[in-house]
Structure 1
């Protein structure tokens, strides 16, 4: 068969297409190209530093059609590997990248095993080529991900993992860093998220002599990678979808705006998906550690004498504090070390306070955490500091005490609580939040006037001692399940009968209300309740004194109101004793219910509502606030320590009033009309200022386009005219 105008030897793309369709018919052309490749390869080996375009094209062509001639292409991959192994550092960057792409293509066609290719690619990391390293990293991650897509080959994964772990110990910093990056990326993609991977990163990565490897390992345990990616994202992607869509309704339709709208729709779709997705927590890596106590001790021992940058030391302190708080570890040297850094002028001091709070838990002895509390009290919570510093110190004390209630002594707590009436609102609010914390956990440490009115929940609280564990054999609040939801028929009939009697008074129409709620009035604020407590206590003391001296009958008539208050106080005391007995009965009832009942979702909803009600009864408080108080996360939020309440000087109405007052004696702002008679007409120049721009734009346009010569002539004519007028 004679081919006229045969251009196939030169047009490799066309030949590649034809060979894939009919390999046998074009075997001759393929052999010809294979011979050309052999010749070009021999020439290239003489001078491997130069880029050879012909070799690039021929090798890519042969890789594309390799599956069509399996016998002929048996040794082709090894030839490419030999070039990269022998000339890896001397090859031209483009030539090296082209040969790597050729090998990846052959790997996808199963001509090379993934382990052999992985080993070669890690050897290529010695090359000074950043683009190549990123390319190889992407391929390795994608390849391992694709292999584990349908089913996980545990034996093969184990072999690959062992190789990657050996590369972490490599003396070459670039190879070790890339190996760590690949392991972390595969962990985040839920491919190699097992215990073995996490512990290897902890044992090798966190103690590496290469700072970059150590920092990347610490960031992995802190879970900051995702946050950094969001911060470094391009501003173009951060488009508000609603603004663009609304603007497009009124703007002129152009091709550019259409593209922008399409882009915004995609961004809006992504945001919607992100909201619908369940939140991903990166702290599970800390849970998978085999020996958290040993890891924390080793990391602290390495960090304490090191000369690393301050930022790296902060990362180490952060990881150690999370480990201590998460696993309830004992690392007593940590607290005196961090106490030395707690100074108001210290760099990143709020983060150091956060680490101190994270490292506190109920099993830390009070004498061990005392240096931290003393440093905060002496250095922050003193009137020689600014209000913001004092507020931050009080917030830090609150966060520590929330995790370790026995960390503060009774005397120190009562001293700090005195700031509840401080002149600066930020300090006052921080002190009151500390009061609120101990009202919910250990009210007996507070002074009587700061405990607030007793609630059913506060009566159930017990003063804890070090090491006490409160284990309940019942579901708290389950006694509410015995209460009837609806009024019985008899009660309804009675109620109707009472109404028919003439509606003599509102007291006949009664509603069954819990006795605990009706006993104690709900005050408008905590301050009012505190004052009420103080007054009641003073009255009771007066009454006791009168009883002792026998002057009860000789009281003057003016003290009748005080006597009524004393009687009310006595009644409250008696009812509170009954409350304690009621609580014991409720606990027994709840224990019996727990033994006999299987709770449903509706039952748990009723129990939760009853528990919230216990907090609210007797003290006016928001439901959401109580729920937030009960939920304590594993980690301390930095915003909880930096939360400083600023007192606004004026509200909106007051500011508007002052603005209007300042305008009273001023002239009206804006365009000033110079006409003596306001009813006379305006000049064309004055009228032009109020006209729509579309009506006058042609005149403005004409002025802009005047040449310099025209401007000179116009100016000369103007001067002549002015001279004539004089």
Structure 2
């Protein structure tokens, strides 16, 4: 091998390549460069504010070949660390960044421990260099992620966590803010998603004197926005509308095609959301060790805080979620919120949302009474606009959905009077309140507002404060007992029908009616299941818009006049119903025995669910009510759209139609020429010029378009040949 020693000291890239191939042969050159580095470093220490390119290149070269000479390079990392620690704030930005990259390279080769490097980097966060801070933040997250890739080193993680928690208490705003950002990012990446991380953010971050740290911690407990999640998501199952975009690129550009591309993008976005696994935004709130103490301390801070109104709202949001999620007792919260409940208050719908989130069954009715009175007096009055009234009624519904005892019987009956209000938004909100109490506490409604009685409503009992309805059997499992009874009754009915066909002269209609009623009661599973599915598909608006009093009158008018036979049939059916009620206790006992002996499969649970749905319509002739599950209504979070849900009637006047037309033209391009020229000053095509020419100039072209006969073509061709012959 030919060695060009005279060129190698100046060409560090070539020397680096040769050393990695054969370290022993180039050890002298390496030692020479190491001595140069030490000399350059001493010169640099005399004037650390200037950028030294030679030191940058030599430090990076030594870091690249450090693994080749382990014994000689033991002191090299410490020298760079000493420079950064001594001159961290006065160093040139480029020089500081270059030395940090050198240390990161050494860290990847295990020359520096992660704890030492983390300690140094958090000291460097105090520097006035935004690019450096972002670079260090990315490295810290990536390094911790790589350390926990194969298996989690709990001891190392605990050491790093303790150090970062100490930085979080630092008085330096930038270091503390970056520390909390790193902790939150590591939590979302499922690296440090333990209770220790969450509780330190709660205890230190939420009560920090630095506003940015406090806001970041509160946002962590409120969860990230959906838009943020979409941007940061790395899902590979996303539908890529690339084919449509490519075809649109090469095909003719039309407005219809552009609309199609937009439609494909929207479908791809929706498909992506559907395919996603359910995200638990509030898992951090579940991991808090002392939610009662945390909520009290945070609410006290909000009360005495001088921060901006938006920051106070974030604190109230976290407190309300804690109260609702952990069923806490924080009685001072409700009068504080009640003082803010005024229609002209900023973000009043969010404050109503907090009041609903802080409601649960264990809140005493007299404690939440100020909130209900404030909503009723300030919102649900005719001196306000209809939108304000509808928002107030929606807020009452959301609060009562979580705490049914929050409203008194008199107040509820007063609010229900708005069911026939002239404005649709108020009327729909009032009827949704009626619908809620029909499924929870129908007893406190007026008799005419309870609707027709059903099996489900008869089984409902109004719970007192603190009462828990615990059942020692699976509700609806009595339907499993009817499975064998249905088969027996069908056989009996078929046998009776055959006998009745033979004995056509007999007038014993009572037996046939009773058998038919048995068929209707027992054999109606399939028909009623179909009815339930149809009713579930109907919209909620139809359910709420249906005026039940009018329906009663219509049904009375349509019903045929009762005859003696009909009366006797009804008596038989009533007797049947009484028997079933009496036998209910026996059925429950048998169901308990079956549940102890048998393991229910999926088909059994489906049959139980259908039986429970059937109870909501049994005994109702024309019911459009959609059965809502309690779990869907009483979620952990109150959606703001549930309170702001205002039904408005469409306007059909000319101004409204024109407004919608102009709104549809907002993103549309301006109309141009047929040849797609949008600039009137650009040149015209020959086709456009032809329109302005004299007819005599284009007469021959117009004539040429007319279809010629075969004889004319022959004459023209003969003349052409004669002309060509003469020219020769």
TM range (shorter): 0.7 to 0.9
CA distance in structure 2 between the partners assigned to 1:178 and 1:94 by the alignment: 21
Aligned partner of 1:668 in structure 2 is none
Instruction: Report the counterpart of residue 77 of structure 2 in structure 1.
Output: 77
Closer, same or farther in 2 for the Cα pair 1:271/1:14, shift >3 Å?
farther
Instruction: Indicate the residue corresponding to 1:678 in structure 2.
Output: none
Partner of 2:693: none
Indicate the residue corresponding to 2:454 in structure 1.
455
Cα offset, 1:352, TM superposition = 0.3
Inter-partner Cα distance in structure 1 for 2:611 and 2:112:
67
User: What residue number does 1:643 align with?
Assistant: 645
Displacement of 1:531 after TM fit?
4.9
What does 1:39-438 correspond to in 2, within 5 Å? 39-224=39-224, 227-228=227-228, 230=230, 244=245, 247-248=248-249, 250-251=251-252, 275-438=274-437
Work out the CA distance in 2 between the residues paired with 1:89 and 1:405. 61
Moved more, 302-311 or 492-501: 492-501
Q: Cα distance 1:564–1:395, how it changes in 2: closer, same or farther (>3 A)?
A: farther
Moved more, 103-112 or 504-513: 504-513
* Residue pair 2:543, 2:625 contacting (<8 A) in 1 also: no
Q: Distance in 2 between matches of 1:286 and 1:698?
A: 64
Q: Does the 8 Å contact 1:536/1:565 carry over to 2?
A: no
Q: Once the two structures are superposed, what CA deviation does each residue of 1:63-103 show, in whole Å capped at 9, x if it has no partner?
A: 01000000111100001001100100000101100000000
- Specify the alignment match of 2:520 in structure 1: 513
1:605 aligns with 2:606: yes
Change in Cα spacing, 1:95 to 1:441, as seen in structure 2 (3 Å) is same
3-state DSSP class of the match of 1:609?
helix
Q: Which runs of 5+ in 1 are unaligned?
A: 253-260, 538-558, 660-688, 706-726
Map Cα deviations across residues 386-427 of structure 1 (whole Å, 9 max, x no partner): 111110000000000000000000010001001000111111
232 and 344 in structure 1: CA distance in 2 versus 1, 3 angstrom threshold? farther
Measure the CA separation in 2 of the matches of 1:692 and 1:604: 64
Do 1:218 and 1:319's aligned partners in 2 also have CA atoms closer than 8 Å? yes
The answer to whether the 8 A contact 1:222-1:319 is kept is: yes
Contact 1:219 1:225 in 2 (8 A): no
The change in CA–CA distance for 1:451 and 1:570 in structure 2 (over 3 A counts) is: farther
Task: Write out aligned runs for 1:584-599 (5 A).
Answer: 584-599=585-600
Contact 1:335 1:369 in 2 (8 A): yes
1:218, 1:316 within 8 Å by CA — same for their partners in 2?
yes
Report the RMSD for the aligned CA atoms in angstroms. 4.2
Find the aligned partners of 2:447 and 2:455 in 1 and give their Cα distance: 17
**Shift of the alpha carbon at 1:648?**
2.1
Rounded to whole Å, the distance in 2 between the matches of 1:150 and 1:503 is 84
1:544 aligned residue = none
Deviations 1:160-189 (A, max 9, x none): 111111111111111111111111111111
Cα deviation, residue 644, structure 1: 0.7
Q: Does 1:22 align with 2:25?
A: no
- Counterparts of 2:366 and 2:340 in 1: how far apart (Å)? 19
Q: How many pairs align? A: 635
SS state at 1:468 partner? coil
2:699 paired residue number: none
Q: What secondary structure sits across from 1:7 in the alignment?
A: coil
Distance in 1 separating the partners of 2:178 and 2:370: 42
Candidates 665, 668, 684, aligned match of 1:700: 684
Aligned residues of 1:516 and 1:579 also touching (Cα < 8 A): no
Offset, 1:242: 7.5
Q: Which moved more, 1:208-217 or 1:603-612?
A: 603-612
Q: Deviation of residue 516 (structure 1)? A: 12
2:582 aligned with 1:581: yes
Q: Tell me the residue number matched to 1:542.
A: none
Answer whether contact 1:452 1:533 (CA < 8 A) is retained: no
**Following TM superposition, by how much is the alpha carbon of 1:19 offset from its aligned partner in structure 2, in angstroms?**
1.1
Mapped contact 1:239–1:267 kept (Cα < 8 A): no
State the SS of the aligned residue for 1:640: helix
C-alpha distance in structure 1 between counterparts of 2:371 and 2:185, whole Å: 38
Cα 1:60–1:275, aligned 2, differ >3 Å: closer, same or farther? farther
Q: Which runs of 5+ in 2 are unaligned?
A: 254-260, 536-541, 662-672, 690-728
When residues 576 and 428 of structure 1 are mapped into structure 2, their CA distance, relative to the original with a 3 A threshold, is farther
Deviation string for 1:169-226 (max 9, x for gaps)?
1111111111111111111111111111111111111111111111111111111255
- 1:134–1:698 CA distance, 2 compared to 1 (3 A): closer
Q: What secondary structure does 2:25 align onto?
A: helix
Kept after mapping to 1: 8 A contact 2:359/2:403:
yes
Cα separation, partners in 2 of 1:650 and 1:150, compared to 1, 3 Å: same
- In the TM superposition, residue 355 of structure 1 has moved relative to its aligned partner by 0.2
Q: Is the 8 A contact 2:239 2:271 kept in 1?
A: no
- Once the 2 structures are TM-superposed, how far is the Cα of residue 484 of structure 1 from its aligned partner? 2.2
The verdict on how the C-alpha distance between 1:515 and 1:267 changes in structure 2, with shifts beyond 3 A counting, is: closer
Query: Which shows bigger deviation, 222-231 or 427-436?
Result: 222-231
- Give the C-alpha shift of residue 596 in structure 1: 2.4
| Per-residue deviation, 1:533 | 6.1
Structure 2 Cα separation of the partners of residues 65 and 387 of structure 1? 76
Residues of 2 paired with 1:142 and 1:441: CA distance? 52
Q: Against the structure 1 CA distance between its residues 78 and 589, is the aligned structure 2 distance closer, same or farther, given a 3 Å change threshold? A: same
Alpha-carbon offset, residue 366 of structure 1: 0.7
Please say which of residues 286-295 and 478-487 is displaced more in the overlay: 478-487
Q: Deviations over 1:466-488 (max 9, x none)?
A: 11100110000111112227746
| Preserved contact between residue 391 and residue 643 of structure 2 (Cα < 8 Å) | yes
Deviations 1:262-291 (A, max 9, x none): xx9999999866643312212011111111
Q: Distance in 2 between matches of 1:371 and 1:655?
A: 44
What is the Cα deviation at residue 22 of structure 1? 1.1
